[in-house]
Structure 1
């Protein structure tokens, strides 16, 4: 995934990427009105309720609407300017990118971008990053239960460029997963409730290492990173880290879902074997 697609699909409002003349080829692919280019992104479609390929629809009327000129250096336009000149043409302008779902062109996504001298900034999106992420991650509601609302709040804050606040809810999710697991297995542990509750959080994870998802146990510093973000880091640093931490949370939840699905299959299989064994014995 290119950094341009990363900005469109995985970043919240007012997040940005650096752009330079080295990115000219990609800029022309994304922002020009040249029909030669075919720019697609992979994004969750909230109407299809599936991951889909979205194709950019080139528009001719951006300049009239106050947006940046969609430059086209295709045939019939004369000699192509030098790279430096072409790069400068894209700077300090606003662009609106319109994508349609390749499964159903009634399903669409719109991105509003601002290109400065050295950055591309996402200043608008519809449907919002939060709307898309929440729909894409509804499967985690079965794991988080009532706490799914905290995941939604985290996604919503990040989508509006709020990093530290989004970290608060990520930390609550981690804490809740660990403490819920402790309440289920505490009778099997050789530690008192008082000692456990007074332990450092990384120690809590270590104590529960045989019962928690492997990815959390192996990356127990995740909790420390989130806590440091809340208390010491800037909004910009938190916003930068959020997509990676979100991946970590999803990996943890994916492991829990996989464990539950396996347990259900094992139970179903064991019941079948027991029932069928009893039936066959009667017929002997």
Structure 2
């Protein structure tokens, strides 16, 4: 389903920084209108009142949004700042642009009639055309006829953020996409924020970073490749750590399929590996080798969450094991001292 810019009404910050890059978003550019009915007189007791119906027409929501960016600096609702690593207010800091005074006003026309007729349909067609012409004039002014619009923001703590938009006009229909931003999209993702708090090896951290970056660029299959590599690395690491206790030689272990390896390592793996009964790895592989990109993007958040749960449980297991070993050592010291 094609995304529309109006879908982000009320949360344009999400589109500007959280939404993936290089995806065309439709600009419907529909005028807004307000209806008023005025009672003129009551001709007689047996008929209703004679009224004057008035429609006042205004710029589209999209046109109004970009006009605001051209002429004003306002604080917006609070949002997450990756540079602060917390939620903070943002102010729009794109340099103000001098636009035609006729574009600044929001009202673009009105229609009044005692009995609304089919003529209003013709009038509304002219309003639609007028809104499109005004939008084109505004974008040409804001982008200096380049179709490229950098938007600058500053968080309450002084960090600068930027998003670069590109407008396209195909047959009179506008669309907009992001072609760049700083910080990158994935740094706004909540799962990426969680991964920053994990105490994980550099190699796994790099794999997670790459998976998040690919997901942010709408490359789902590529992202899942790196999630599968993390799963495989965790299995191999667990075997190497506990192989002396397992009594399974390396050659025998390597011949087993993933389900067989999970059975061997069952007592040493995070519980969520058993929760998924081995089909997590099967699904990761299916996405990589068989499923289309659309399905990969549909599944990516759930698959990433599964990997994150496993990593979190692994961290907890390591911490408990560390505490256990320290406690054993401390107990031995006490026991030794008591024996003296």
Same structural fold, with TM-score higher than 0.5 when normalized by the shorter chain: yes
Alignment match, 1:53: 88
Alignment match, 1:39: 77
Q: Would the alpha carbon gap of residues 3 and 131 (structure 1) be closer, same or farther in structure 2, given more than 3 Å must change? A: closer
Q: Give the whole-Å Cα distance in 1 for the aligned partners of 2:309 and 2:324.
A: 22
Three-state SS of the structure 1 residue aligned to 2:282 is helix
Shift of 1:32: 6.6
Alignment of 1:114-263 (within 5 A): 121-129=177-185, 137-140=195-198, 142-189=199-246, 193-219=250-276, 220-263=278-321
Shift of 1:256: 1.7
TM-score normalised to structure 2 length: 0.56
Q: Give the whole-Å Cα distance in 2 for the aligned partners of 1:97 and 1:198.
A: 55
Q: Would the alpha carbon gap of residues 35 and 147 (structure 1) be closer, same or farther in structure 2, given more than 3 Å must change? A: closer
Alignment match, 2:113: none
More strand by share: 2
Alignment of 1:1-150 (within 5 A): 11-15=19-23, 33=68, 38-45=76-83, 48=84, 50-57=85-92, 59=94, 61=96, 77-78=106-107, 96-102=150-156, 104-105=157-158, 107-113=159-165, 121-129=177-185, 137-140=195-198, 142-150=199-207
> Which structure has the greater CA radius of gyration?
2
Q: Which runs of 5+ in 1 are unaligned?
A: 65-70
Alignment match, 2:54: none
Q: Would the alpha carbon gap of residues 216 and 98 (structure 1) be closer, same or farther in structure 2, given more than 3 Å must change? A: farther
Q: Give the whole-Å Cα distance in 2 for the aligned partners of 1:217 and 1:4.
A: 41
User: Across the two proteins, how many residue pairs are aligned to each other?
Assistant: 265
Three-state SS of the structure 1 residue aligned to 2:161 is strand
Deviations 1:93-150 (A, max 9, x none): 8765433333x21x1222234578797643321122367777874554x433434333
Q: Give the whole-Å Cα distance in 2 for the aligned partners of 1:155 and 1:205.
A: 26
Shift of 1:215: 2.3
Q: Give the whole-Å Cα distance in 1 for the aligned partners of 2:326 and 2:13.
A: 43
Q: Which runs of 5+ in 2 are unaligned?
A: 1-9, 33-60, 111-123, 140-146
Shift of 1:39: 2.9
Shift of 1:54: 4.9
Mean Cα deviation higher: 263-272 or 113-122: 113-122
Q: Would the alpha carbon gap of residues 127 and 230 (structure 1) be closer, same or farther in structure 2, given more than 3 Å must change? A: same
Shift of 1:175: 0.6
Q: Would the alpha carbon gap of residues 55 and 266 (structure 1) be closer, same or farther in structure 2, given more than 3 Å must change? A: farther
Three-state SS of the structure 2 residue aligned to 1:61 is coil
- Tell me the C-alpha RMSD between the 2 structures: 4.9
Does the aligned pair in 2 maintain the 1:181–1:211 contact within 8 Å?
yes
Three-state SS of the structure 1 residue aligned to 2:237 is helix
TM-score normalised to structure 1 length: 0.65
Q: Would the alpha carbon gap of residues 11 and 174 (structure 1) be closer, same or farther in structure 2, given more than 3 Å must change? A: farther
